[in-house]
Amino acid sequence: MAKLLLVEDDQELRERLVEWFTIEGHTVESTDTGEDALQLLKAFNFDIVVLDWGLPAMLGVEVCQTYRREGGQTPIIFLTGKGDIPSREAGLDSGADDYLVKPFDVRELSARVRSLLRRPKGLLPTDLSIKGLTLTLETRVAQGNGKSVHLMPKQCALLEYLMRHPNRPFGAKALLDAVWPSDTEASEDTVRTCMKTLRRQLSSLGKDDLIKTVLGSGYLIENK
């Protein structure tokens, strides 16, 4: 699972893609302007950006160029009706990592997203293991001590985030920014409630102490 930024001014397509990627277990932030996209990229961390070329006011290629010029490293996939070779060259030369011509099958876009997520910075695994607990992201199943539980999407996302960043404490605010969209009505209390239910699930696997609370710092998983 990943946190995606979708930038698309076609409302119908945007809503369809948000629904698709949410069902796949991703956290999706969406906007319809390049200006908003750059603000979101400055304020939050994303794993991948799906960016429409033909945005109003500020074209997607300008967004990409600006973001790369300011040091942004998040992978970017262009969506565009421009299928000619010069346009493809311009898109990739602006700093994009992939290019998909409209109309497209959403399954192909989904496959391209998965492909980019597997690229280094370091070949993100679909199974994570730490201290005898294995998390299978595709099915959202956690296993330990010969038992398994199926996690809800946000429970799985919280656990995944902590497992990918071991030995680092994260407060409720940091986890809210990492796992929930910025326009969510969720709060830090939502994070704490979700953490409580996640710990209950882990307890059923005999992993009561996997997620520790560091007073004044937040939650962490140690891997030493």
Tens of each residue's pLDDT in the chain, 224 residues: 788 999 999 999 999 999 999 988 888 989 999 999 998 888 788 889 999 988 888 898 899 989 888 878 888 998 988 777 787 777 777 788 888 888 889 999 998 898 888 765 544 556 789 999 999 887 889 999 999 999 888 898 899 889 988 899 999 998 988 888 765 678 889 999 999 999 999 999 999 899 999 988 899 999 87
In a domain, 42, yes or no: yes
Is residue 111 located within the same domain as residue 133?
no
In a domain, 216, yes or no: yes
Is residue 176 located within the same domain as residue 97?
no
* Residue 152 DSSP class: P
Query: Taking a C-beta distance cutoff of 8 angstroms, is the pair 195, 158 a contact?
Result: yes
Is residue 13 located within the same domain as residue 45?
yes
Query: Taking a C-beta distance cutoff of 8 angstroms, is the pair 61, 79 a contact?
Result: no
Residue 136 bridge partners (DSSP): 127, 141
Indicate which CATH number applies to the domain containing 46. Answer: 3.40.50.2300
Is residue 181 located within the same domain as residue 102?
no
In a domain, 122, yes or no: no
Query: Taking a C-beta distance cutoff of 8 angstroms, is the pair 64, 76 a contact?
Result: yes
In a domain, 30, yes or no: yes
Which of 87, 117, 147 finishes a domain?
117
194 φ/ψ angles, rounded to the nearest 5 degrees: -65, -40
What is the extent of the structural domain holding 137? 127-221
Structurally, how many domains does the chain consist of?
2
- The whole-number pLDDT of residue 202 equals 95
Is residue 19 located within the same domain as residue 112?
yes
- The whole-number pLDDT of residue 42 equals 83
